[in-house]
Amino acid sequence: MGEAESRWLDAEEQATWLALTGVLVGLPAALDAQLQRDAGISHFEYQVLAGLSMTPDRTLRMSSLAEFAAGSLSRLSHTVKRLEKQGWVRRMPDPDDGRCTLAVLTDAGWEKVLATAPGHVAEVRRLVFDPLTRTQQRQLRETGRRIHHTIDPDAPWPGGG
């Protein structure tokens, strides 16, 4: 597609894009700062712990956990190694498929999630939900769902329903 054929953003689209990129950069940084300050962990580490805490038996295959936490298997492996040193997670072979590895949230990891979640949820509420009306929240959810589906039509919607 040549320059003459490019569909440039109009002023309203450009303003929307810049607002979205500001959120995409600023929100993770703000959540990471809160978690580092209050719990001594990164947002990605929290996502790993929280993901395990929401599953039956607090156990997930590493590949599923990487998908949930939106990270590569390599990044997850390094993170889980750090979480293992803290005693919050342990790894074990999957008894159903020895080629796979399971990550298991330990009791100490469960306690870390319980101690960390209230501050994290308060920050999510402050940054995302408090500034929006219920209608805006529903619009944000639908907008996210549509963009997510366009990026990967086969991926499950992480927000459920």
Asked whether the CA dihedral 110, 82, 34, 156 is positive or negative, the reply is negative
Residue ranges of domains in the chain: 35-120
Fold of the CATH domain 35-120:
Arc Repressor Mutant, subunit A (1.10.10)
pLDDT digit string (tens) for 72-91? Answer: 999 999 999 999 999 999 99
d(CA 39, CA 161): 31
pLDDT digit string (tens) for 102-161? Answer: 999 999 999 999 999 999 999 999 999 999 999 999 999 999 999 989 998 887 666 555
